A and B are shown apart, each in its own frame.
Chain A
Amino acid sequence: MMTDLLITIVKILVVFGVYLTMVAYLSLVERRVSAFIQDRRGPNRVGPFGLLQPLADGLKFMFKEDLIPHYVNRPVYLLAPLVALVPAFITMAVIPFGNTLPLFGRDIPLVIANVNIGFLYIFALTSMGVYGVVLAGWSSNSKYSLIGGLRASAQMISYELSLGLAAVGVLIVAGSLRLPDIVAAQSGLRWNFWMQPLGFIIFLIAVFAETNRLPFDLPEAEPELVGGYHTEYSSMKFAMFFMAEYANMLTASAVVVSLYLGGWQVPYLEQAGLPPLLLSLAQVLAFVLKVGVMLFFFVWVRWTLPRFRYDQLMRLGWKITLPLAILNIFYSGYLVVAKWV
């Protein structure tokens, strides 16, 4: 009992530590990759290859003046950054980052909490993330923030439907809401990425919209809305919105990898005859690499595609991705009935 508790605590600490570090370094990755795409150098002065840049940024944010405008609704204004940040963090609890780790004669499952409603847990929490944006927009009492918040709420509602319906296909095929089961169902070459290409594309589009990333970053579209919902925020509170964006991106990548890209699975690695410990570590490495590829894809898209117009965004959400997601459900049902999976 005590050892189980201890193992869980260690898992939480390790995952959270790695997660926070990755969130911090994502800002550097974004700037370096954008610089590469635009044929610039990017931040390369602080430490070797600019590797200490996130540290310098963090320090700078902390020492900036924390300005709270007098016209804001204070309690809600102070609450909003936290509401934006927390759901993204706690979603990681149900994502399996490996199979089991054989250590000291025990098989440690490499997921913090294997709850039987795993996917619904993720879905419920990500739908909470929008509150941070909406509350920030409302409490700031400025028109740019308000429009940002408005756009965020409409956008999230529109794309949450496609997101959920696209994922229903995966759930039908896996026959379980537990993420470890969903990953286990994608053994060998049966990644959902191949099995359900339509669902994958819809899910990906919806994930971009849910994380407010370009080409769907209308809640903070800087040419029209100054900074959107976080216009009135400064110092660490602004940094928290920034962190929330990257944390959401990281969580979303992990979810996409788990649902569609086989999670920690490497095709036919089990047959290679590796020692169990090495196999387990290789699978964790595979998961991290896949998440890394997804994150690079996020950044790549941001610096390649232009922003959608608002009506285009709504039309895409309601008239294209939603019907296609429903079609994908029928297709998944057919897969199961025809025993292709």
Chain B
Amino acid sequence: MDLSFLFFYLFAAVAVGAALVVVLNRNILHCAMALVLMFFAIAALFLMLGAEFIAAVQVLVYAGAIMVLFLFVILLIQIDRVQMLRFAHRQSPLVVIIAVLLLAELLYMIIRGTLGIAPGGADAAAAGAASGSTEAFGALLYTTYLFPFEVASVLLLAAMIGAILLARLDKEEVGGVSRQDMS
């Protein structure tokens, strides 16, 4: 037996622990940093599976770009007022439903995995074997999985246009003085 089991449990424990901190801690910045730690733990798990490209992108995109944006917003809003977050919010029922759905999906995948059925069929198994190589990953992304890939990018584009539209509306209402000028 090699040491990889030990490391798997180490990183898994870090990921779960950090995720708990994200949910339970009341200081918003500590939550954000715990989330970064969780992304790192997940990236380490990807590395152990031989998916180097995914691991690097995980750190690069989530920890390196998205969380920096989060931090930017946290710094920009007044931290004293929001420092102690309320633990439960009004959307709780919805959150419970989504959480249950996600858990069900996860359990389904785990059960399939333990039964020896590769999730997503042979293509995904091939992708899993080849995902260490960036070239194979890119080839799959532009052939087999082209449609979901394009849908995701259209979704992102729509979100971006929406954000720009909202920002511009805001600017007109304030009347000449934009939010950017004040920061």
Binding site for B on A (CB under 8 A): 73, 76, 115-117, 120-121, 123-125, 127-128, 130-131, 134-135, 137-138, 146, 149-150, 153-154, 156-157, 160, 177
Q: Contacts of B72 on A, CB cut-off 8 Å?
A: 134, 150, 153-154, 157
Using known A-B contacts A157-B68, A160-B65, determine if residue A124 contacts B75 with beta carbons closer than 8 Å.
no
Chain B residues within 8 Å of A128, by CB? 59, 63-64
Q: Are A137 and B75 touching (Cβ within 8 A)?
A: yes
Of the residues B52, B76, B79, contact of A117 by C-beta under 8 Å: B52
Assess whether B65 is in contact with A134, with CB atoms less than 8 Å apart.
no
Give Cα A146 to B75, complex, Å: 7
A146 to B29, CA, bound (A): 13
Chain B: minimal CB distance from A339 (Å): 20
How many Å from the CB of B22 to the closest CB on chain A?
16
Judge whether B69 is part of the interface by a CB distance below 8 angstroms: yes
Chain A CB within 10 A, most for which of B29, B52, B68: B68
Measured between beta carbons, the chain A residues less than 8 angstroms from B133 are 116
**A-B residue pairs in contact (CB < 8 Å), sample of 18:** A73-B29, A76-B30, A115-B52, A116-B132, A116-B134, A117-B52, A117-B134, A121-B56, A124-B56, A128-B59, A131-B36, A138-B29, A138-B71, A138-B74, A138-B75, A138-B79, A146-B75, A153-B71
Docked Cα-Cα span, A160 to B67, in Å, equals 14
- Within the complex, the shortest CB–CB distance from B152 to chain A, in Å, comes to 18
Q: Is the CB of A76 within 8 A of B29?
A: yes
Q: B156 CB to closest chain A CB, in angstroms? A: 14
B53 beta carbon closer than 8 Å to chain A: yes
Query: Considering only CB atoms, which chain A residue lies closest to B54 in the complex?
Result: A117
Cα separation A76 to B132 with both chains bound (whole Å): 35
Q: Which of B42-62 contact A (CB under 8 A)?
A: 52-53, 55-57, 59-60
**Minimum CB distance partner of B181 in chain A:** A311
Name the A residues within 8 Å of B109 (CB-CB).
none
Known contacts: A120-B53, A134-B68, A160-B65. The answer to whether A150 contacts B60 by CB under 8 A is no
Binding site for A on B (CB under 8 A): 29-30, 33, 36, 52-53, 55-57, 59-60, 63-65, 68-69, 71-72, 74-76, 79, 132-134, 183
A150 near B52: Cβ-Cβ < 8 Å:
no
In the bound complex, residues from chain A placing their C-beta under 8 Å from that of B75 are 134, 137-138, 146, 149-150, 153
Question: With the chains together, A127 CA to B65 CA distance in Å?
Answer: 7
Q: A127-B65, A134-B72 are in contact. List 16 more A-B contacts (CB 8 A).
A: A73-B29, A116-B134, A120-B57, A123-B60, A124-B56, A125-B59, A127-B59, A128-B64, A130-B68, A134-B68, A146-B75, A153-B72, A157-B65, A157-B72, A160-B64, A160-B65
Distance from A52 Cβ to chain B, minimum over Cβ atoms (Å): 39
What CA separation (Å) do A179 and B65 show in the bound complex? 23
Q: Is the CB of B68 within 8 A of A127?
A: yes
Q: Nearest residue in B to A146 (C-beta to C-beta)?
A: B75
Distance to closest chain B CB from A324 (angstroms): 20
CA distance A135 to B33 in the complex (A): 9
Residues of chain A with a CB closer than 8 A to B183's CB: 150
Residues of A within 8 A of B52 (CB): 115-117
Q: Using Cβ atoms and an 8 Å threshold, which residues of chain A touch B53?
A: 117, 120
Report B-chain residues with C-beta under 8 Å of the C-beta of A160.
Answer: 64-65
B138 to chain A, nearest CB (A): 11
Q: Are A127 and B57 in contact (CB under 8 A)?
A: no
Counting chain B CB atoms within 10 Å of each CB, the highest count among A127, A135, A137, A156 belongs to A127
Could you tell me the distance in whole angstroms from the C-beta of B169 to the nearest C-beta in chain A?
20
